[in-house]
């Protein structure tokens, strides 16, 4: 008999029909009641075993973590918290789980402990909810772009360009690193390496994305990205997933509109498809926040925060305005920032971003027109000679979630800027060809997927929204 998923069973009218269900035991009470879960939902299916007619040898093997196949009849449930249950006629043990040794006991475990057993944490309510939401968001991102005619482009993971400057890179080599070939000067001779040159894992697919946008008009990437930055924060991973749309015939305003529309679209889909999971995560967060002092707790719960994001336009502010707000803030005057904001031109730290979003505007903020010195070479220069057409989207609890810009499409200006900051123009000749042949105004952005998942799930550490996090000194599983 075909297996039914627990999510569907829980929505089926019970008419004593015979069904088969398979899953893992969460708990087994009184030798009678199994809470069975198959990952389709956080809600368990109650299976009632007739212990008088079930062999002792089977009963003993129904332990937390064991995999079962159950056939029985679906009946209305008299118990609290469920409308249906299965009266088992047969219970087959597919895989035993030694209750003494099983690391996931039916009790509350800390997120830190669960990170150490990340291979099993999928089986908890919290991570069940997180990764179902993550799945929905990934699908919704594709749907958003596909519905709008964007072409999904696979940009390379191994690259030889080291000019983007987005972060420290991981080297890719097939050399015996204890004994690499050297040239006459004693330097490592990469011309003898696998690709005949030095290569790295990509920090961004943007430059290649721009090439494709100059043919398809609208493209997006959605792939893994690597940064060897040694920042052990709750918002940085060494391996993360990034979504990078790139759009021809598009300026900074259009760019902001697409990013805002996309974020609202995917959040709405997650609320529609995973409401139960998000409600569960909202409660989890409230519990977690009870540990914090009153003034550090968020004013809105997760559910309300997500709805709030859907109902309000993001605040659009220039970098210059933001610096004024920060400089004049009581926070700055009372020296509550670790990095004080004293002059125009400084880079914003995440404490500043969060102040603007959480304390000042109390909604998502798009900061535009940053000083050119603190942004990348490819961003379009504004007429003031000081700023570039950049945009960062800042979210409550997260800080920067999106970084983007209108790109510099004017060859002369781009080359001058590259020379100014010492980027080898010849090495990026392929990139500059887009400006030589049919250049046009274009723009794009990068959305860090895990930061989005953090926001929608209300988790507080980025290590808890990717299945197997890679961070400094940590690459388990
Ligand atoms: P941050 O200042 O937070 O380090 P960034 O300025 O280095 O970010 P970009 O180079 O603009 O970020 O990358 C685009 C997006 O990728 C960011 O807005 C963020 O959402 C995400 N991102 C960047 N670095 C990481 C990382 N190490 N781990 C997870 N996501 C990241
Ligand atoms: Mn960074």
Same domain, 222 and 300: yes
CB 405 within 8 A of CB 391: yes
Domain extent, residue 263, equals 123-168+203-464
Same domain, 93 and 155: no
CA angle 144/148/150 to nearest 5° reads: 90
Same domain, 59 and 132: no
Please count the residues of the chain.
477
Which residue has tokens 């509350």? 108
Residue 416 lies in a domain: yes
Burial of 400-413, coded b for 16+ CB within 10 Å and e otherwise, reads: bbbbbbbbbbeeee
Same domain, 77 and 134: no
CB 390 within 8 A of CB 370: yes
Nearest residue to 139 via CA among 265, 258, 307, 6: 265
Same domain, 233 and 372: yes
CB 409 within 8 A of CB 435: yes
- Residue 98: predicted pLDDT: 96
Same domain, 374 and 459: yes
203 class by beta-carbon count within 10 Å (0-12 exposed, 13-18 middle, 19+ buried): buried
Q: pTM for the complete prediction?
A: 0.96
Q: Using CA atoms in the order 364, 370, 376, 379, what is the torsion angle rounded to 10 degrees?
A: 90
Contacts by 102-108, CB closer than 8 A, 24 or more apart: 102/63, 102/64, 102/65, 104/64, 104/65, 105/64, 106/26, 106/27, 106/64
237 lines ligand 1 (CB under 6 A): yes
| Alpha carbon nearest to ligand 1 atom 19, residue | 448
Q: Return the SS3 of 127.
A: helix
- Residue 198: predicted pLDDT: 92
Q: Using CA atoms in the order 306, 206, 150, 466, what is the torsion angle rounded to 10 degrees?
A: -40
Same domain, 101 and 14: yes
Positions in the chain whose pLDDT score sits under 50: none
Q: Which residues pair with 393 in a beta bridge?
A: 366, 402
Residue 296 lies in a domain: yes
Same domain, 53 and 152: no
Residue 436 lies in a domain: yes
Residue 473 lies in a domain: no
CATH number (domain holding residue 74): 2.40.50.140
Task: Ligand 1 pocket test: pick from 169, 377, 446, 462 the residue with the most ligand atoms within 8 Å of its Cβ.
Answer: 446
Same domain, 74 and 134: no
Give 204 Cα–ligand 1 centroid separation in angstroms: 10
- Residue 80: predicted pLDDT: 82
DSSP per-residue letters across 161-199: ---S-SS---EE--S-TTS--B-TTSSB-GGGSTTSS-E
CATH number (domain holding residue 449): 3.30.930.10
DSSP per-residue letters across 50-85: -GGGS-HHHHTT--TT-EEEEEEEEEE--STT-SEE
Number of structural domains found in the chain: 2
| Alpha carbon nearest to ligand 1 atom 24, residue | 236
Same domain, 400 and 457: yes
Last-in-domain residue among 107, 136, 157? 107
């Amino acid at each position: 008999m075909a297996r039914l998923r627990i999510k569907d069973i829980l929505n089926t009218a019970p008419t004593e029909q015979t069904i088969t269900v398979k899953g893992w035991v969460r708990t087994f009470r009184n030798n009678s009641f199994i809470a069975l879960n198959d990952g389709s939902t956080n809600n368990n299916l109650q299976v009632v075993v007739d212990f008088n007619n079930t062999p002792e040898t089977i009963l003993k093997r129904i332990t937390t973590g064991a995999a079962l196949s159950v056939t029985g009849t679906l009946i209305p449930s008299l118990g609290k918290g469920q409308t249906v249950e299965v009266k088992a006629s047969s219970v087959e043990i597919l895989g035993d789980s030694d209750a003494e040794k099983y690391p996931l006991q039916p009790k509350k475990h800390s997120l830190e402990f669960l990170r150490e057993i990340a291979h099993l944490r999928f089986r908890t309510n919290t991570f069940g909810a997180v990764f179902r939401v993550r799945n929905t968001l990934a699908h919704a991102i594709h749907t958003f772009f596909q519905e709008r005619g964007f072409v999904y482009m696979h940009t390379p993971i191994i690259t030889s360009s080291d000019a983007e400057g987005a972060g420290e890179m991981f080297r890719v080599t097939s050399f015996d690193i204890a004994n690499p070939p050297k040239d006459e000067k004693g330097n490592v001779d990469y011309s003898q390496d696998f690709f005949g040159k030095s290569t790295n894992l990509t920090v961004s697919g943007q430059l290649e994305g721009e090439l494709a946008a100059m043919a398809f008009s609208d493209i997006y990437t959605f792939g893994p990205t690597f940064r060897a930055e040694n920042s052990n924060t709750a918002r940085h991973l060494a391996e993360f997933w990034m979504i990078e749309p790139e759009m021809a015939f598009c300026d900074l305003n259009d760019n902001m509109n697409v990013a805002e529309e996309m974020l609202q679209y995917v959040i709405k889909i997650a609320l529609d498809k995973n409401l139960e999971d998000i409600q569960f995560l909202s409660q989890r967060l409230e519990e977690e926040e009870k540990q914090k002092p009153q003034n550090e707790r968020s004013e809105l719960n997760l559910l309300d925060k997500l709805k709030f994001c859907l109902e309000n336009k993001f605040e659009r502010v220039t970098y210059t305005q933001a610096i004024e707000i920060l400089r004049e803030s009581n926070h700055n005057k009372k020296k509550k920032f670790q990095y004080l904001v004293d002059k125009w031109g400084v880079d914003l730290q995440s404490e500043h971003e969060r102040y603007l979003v959480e304390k000042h505007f109390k909604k998502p903020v798009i900061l535009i027109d940053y000083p050119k010195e603190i942004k990348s070479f490819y961003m379009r220069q504004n007429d003031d000679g000081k700023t570039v057409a950049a945009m960062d989207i800042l979210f409550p609890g997260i800080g920067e979630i999106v970084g983007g810009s209108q790109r510099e499409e004017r060859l002369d200006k781009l080359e001058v800027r590259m020379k100014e900051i010492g980027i080898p123009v010849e090495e990026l000749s392929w990139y500059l060809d887009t400006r030589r042949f049919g250049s046009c105004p274009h723009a794009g952005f990068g959305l860090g997927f895990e930061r989005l998942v953090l926001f929608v799930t209300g988790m507080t550490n980025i290590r808890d929204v990717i299945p197997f996090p890679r961070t400094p000194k940590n690459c388990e599983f």
